[in-house]
Structure 1
Amino acid sequence: MLALEKHGLKPTDGPVVVTGAAGGVGSVAIALLAKAGWHVIASTGRAKEADYLKSLGATEIIDRNELSGAGPPLGKERWIAGVDCVGSHTLANVLSMTRYGGAVTACGLAQGMDLPASVAPFILRGVSLLGIDSVMCPKPRRVEAWARLATDLDRGKLAGITSTIRLEDTIAAGADTLAGKVRGRLVVEIDRN
């Protein structure tokens, strides 16, 4: 959200799409964007999560199949911004459907590290792709993000997004995550005894 704001985008410019919406990053993004006043379109492969996503603030739910396959170099303009947690064809399609002057943040690669896209959205619509770095991100930028989370993320929604598991359950949880069975984020509790 910070990257979209720094790019100059605001809720009155149009809707924002969030891919991988029922995952941890997607869930938090929806809650933050909705609180900031954005019309949030949540993309998910799990239709049963619609009520959950709407409880976080999503206004619309679209099936991930609309975005996950090979698409045209330039699609119909649907949103001004995007938060992509998926990568690959999904990111390429989100870019191709972004309105003139819009921007998409890329912060995940659940579908893959490739980007089978055209330069058309960049040179014909002035769309920007904004990479979100969680590894080498400088401390001042992290502090800024943490401060926004502290003020803008509803604690009740955070509790609803979060599940706590024991360390010995992480292997099974990893398999469940890969199988698309995990909603929100998992926090691993370490027994300090």
Structure 2
Amino acid sequence: MVQNSSTFKAFRIEEIDGIYQGSVQEMDFGTLNNNEVLVKVHYSSLNYKDALSASGNKGVTRNYPHTPGIDAVGIIEKSNSDLYAVGEKVIVTSYDLGMNTDGGFAEYIQVPAEWAVKLPENITMKEAMIYGTAGLTAGMSVLRLTELIKPEDGKIAVSGATGGVGALSVSILSKLGYSVVAITGKETEWDYLMNLGAEEVLLRSEVENFAKKPLLKPLFADAIDTVGGVILENIIKSTNAIGVVTCCGNVASPKLDLTVFPFILRGVTLIGIDSQNYPMKYRKIVWNKLSQEWNPKQLNHTCNEIKLKDVGQKIELMLQGKLKGRTVVTLVE
């Protein structure tokens, strides 16, 4: 085993008098159980679920102190499993990582071996975390859309387009030849979205203010929605006949106020995306595609790199809706 210290650094969230506070602390190594691996983390990344965990959302994390971080990539330093050997590079995303199992905002993680995916040869560890759960979620959405829809079928809307899932969805779809309409609440990010590959940008307020009718004029062949609420409602109502909409988030609202008309009069299909418990068979398919034909040339344009000590500040900005793209946490100097 390579580790040469009895402790490691982690960004820990503590509950003190009802207030949740984060700081970098020294942690002791635990005992490695059967079928577990110890991974030296090289990179992690910041997701909205991490921000919720860090602010005390009990729907994400029940017990504190806790280390958030639903994404990690690194090298196995100890293995009690036949699935992986010491020295292999692996990606660990979702499942319970960073929720009720200490996560990737740490120099080491200890997880069940079946949570890990071997790092594809065609991407670096940093690139894997630019993707992270956001990239996996975007990839799952693109996979479902491209099974049913071709570029010539029309425009694809992507909501929350400056966020992690949205930005990567825009980039991947553009590389595959689709015409993308990016929906955003940030008027200042026009150039950023066009550089990612969007052909058109709509303001969130425009979409929110579509007419309040059961069905609207068809505008999109398909869509990837990352926010939920009124935006998702109006996208569904504005989707072409036999169109497909995927949904993966609820930052705007978990509620939908719809009639069945888009589904029974236009045959629109709504597909839910669950990256947390996505079957391993399909995880491997998506990761391989992300490392090869889906790998967008603009990948690094979606990334900001920080160190462990900066995580708390970035979490605050994320909760205020002031981050764009992906934030990658470097754990190895």
In the TM superposition, residue 191 of structure 1 has moved relative to its aligned partner by 4.9
Matched, 1:88 2:229: yes
Which residue of the partner structure matches residue 196 of structure 2?
56
Which residue of the partner structure matches residue 136 of structure 1?
277
In the TM superposition, residue 68 of structure 1 has moved relative to its aligned partner by 2.9
In the TM superposition, residue 69 of structure 1 has moved relative to its aligned partner by 5.1
Matched, 1:183 2:304: no
Matched to 2:250, the amino acid is: L
The number of residues matched between the two structures is 190
Matches within 5 A, 1:103-182: 103-151=244-292, 152-154=294-296, 156-182=297-323
Q: Judging by fraction of residues, say which structure has more strand.
A: 2
Matched to 2:262, the amino acid is: P
Structure 2 unaligned regions, length at least 5: 1-141
> Match for 1:18 among 141, 147, 158?
158
In the TM superposition, residue 112 of structure 1 has moved relative to its aligned partner by 1.5
Which residue of the partner structure matches residue 36 of structure 1?
176
> Contact 1:89/1:117 (CA < 8 Å) preserved in 2?
no
Separation of aligned partners in 1, 2:144 and 2:267: 16
Q: Judging by fraction of residues, say which structure has more helix.
A: 1
Q: Deviations over 1:28-49 (max 9, x none)?
A: 0001001111110000011111
In the TM superposition, residue 102 of structure 1 has moved relative to its aligned partner by 0.2
Matched to 2:295, the amino acid is: L
Task: Report the secondary structure of 1:164's partner residue.
Answer: strand
Separation of aligned partners in 2, 1:172 and 1:67: 31
Separation of aligned partners in 2, 1:68 and 1:173: 28
Separation of aligned partners in 2, 1:16 and 1:101: 13
Separation of aligned partners in 2, 1:67 and 1:144: 33
Separation of aligned partners in 1, 2:257 and 2:326: 28
Separation of aligned partners in 2, 1:83 and 1:109: 13
Matched to 1:96, the amino acid is: K
Separation of aligned partners in 1, 2:329 and 2:315: 11
Q: Deviations over 1:74-116 (max 9, x none)?
A: 1110011000000011111110000000000101111021112
Matched to 2:151, the amino acid is: P
Separation of aligned partners in 1, 2:151 and 2:170: 13
In the TM superposition, residue 64 of structure 1 has moved relative to its aligned partner by 0.5
TM-score by length of 1: 0.93
RMSD across aligned positions (CA) = 1.4
Higher Cα radius of gyration: 2
Separation of aligned partners in 2, 1:102 and 1:40: 15
Separation of aligned partners in 2, 1:77 and 1:185: 32
Q: Deviations over 1:136-182 (max 9, x none)?
A: 1001111111111111222x411110111222222221221122211
Task: Report the secondary structure of 2:271's partner residue.
Answer: strand
Matched to 2:197, the amino acid is: G
Separation of aligned partners in 1, 2:144 and 2:206: 25
In the TM superposition, residue 73 of structure 1 has moved relative to its aligned partner by 1.8
> Contact 1:69/1:90 (CA < 8 Å) preserved in 2?
no
TM-score by length of 2: 0.55
Separation of aligned partners in 2, 1:112 and 1:69: 16
Task: Report the secondary structure of 1:180's partner residue.
Answer: coil
